[in-house]
A and B are shown apart, each in its own frame.
Chain A
């Protein structure tokens, strides 16, 4: 069964460092999303992406964040200069027609 794949599963980084979280959406899907979940809290929307551009972004998604679909299969989230409060589980999701979103298994980001 097709699935959304995220790498790495766990990333530890020093404060101030750049990190890139990678996602391979389901191959025929056209809509892509990043969400994050701070430990013990609810899942929050970061950004949606369609037709090679950002469709919507939340107020969390500030200038430190960027997304890219570099090669037609990967979908990446970059955090330029990580802060302690960026520690969270980051979920990538994709959707064929915008109706049902399939989530990856998440990347746990720990900023130390």
Chain B
């Protein structure tokens, strides 16, 4: 069975600095997707970034980028120029490939605090 592990329950960063959140996963599949979701205090789940396993290039969305290491099954999120609004729970998630109905499997989350 696939699993997702986030080993950092909490992280903190100063405004304008850079922080990296870790995620590792376990799967025997070769085709899959990885995601980072943000959950602010409002509890809504917001997609931050997505990575297809077949793509070697790391995904980037503005201040958010990932370091995808397929062989190591590692998928870390880097937030550059951190802002107060980045404070939230961040969940790493995995979805198996080809079957479009496949579910997301989430990690336990990392709570990010941003200090002014």
Contact = CB atoms under 8 A, between A and B. Distances in A.
Contacts of B37: 103
12 contacts: A31-B100, A43-B106, A45-B105, A48-B102, A93-B45, A99-B33, A99-B50, A100-B50, A102-B47, A105-B43, A106-B44, A108-B43
A43 B47 contact: no
A44 B106 CA distance: 7
Interface string B90-116: 010100000111111111110000000
B91 A43 contact: yes
A31 B104 CA distance: 13
Contacts, number: 63
A85 B105 CA distance: 21
The dominant DSSP class at the A interface is strand
Contacts of B28: none
B56 interface: no
B103 A45 contact: yes
A48 B103 contact: yes
Interface of A: 31, 33, 35, 37, 41-45, 48, 50, 55-56, 58, 89, 91, 93, 95, 97-106, 108
A42 B39 CA distance: 11
A42 B103 contact: no
Contact of A98 (B35, B91, B102, B107): B102
Contacts of B107: 42
A106 B102 CA distance: 20
